[in-house]
Amino acid sequence: MSKPRLPDELWAKVEPLLPRPKRRRVHHCGRKPLDPRKVLTGILFVLRTGIRWNDLPCELGCGSGSRCRRYPPRA
Q: What is the pLDDT of residues 35-68, one digit of tens each?
A: 888 888 888 888 989 988 888 887 776 665 544 5
Would residue 9 count as lying in a domain? no
* Full domain range(s) for residue 75: 35-75
Number of compact structural domains in the chain: 1
CB 58 within 8 Å of CB 46: no
CA angle 18, 20, 24 (to 5 degrees): 140
Would residue 57 count as lying in a domain? yes
- Between these two residues, 59 and 71, which has the higher pLDDT value? 59
Would residue 16 count as lying in a domain? no
- Between these two residues, 1 and 29, which has the higher pLDDT value? 29
Would residue 11 count as lying in a domain? no
Q: What is the pLDDT of residues 2-14, one digit of tens each?
A: 555 788 999 999 9
For residue 16, pLDDT beyond 90: yes
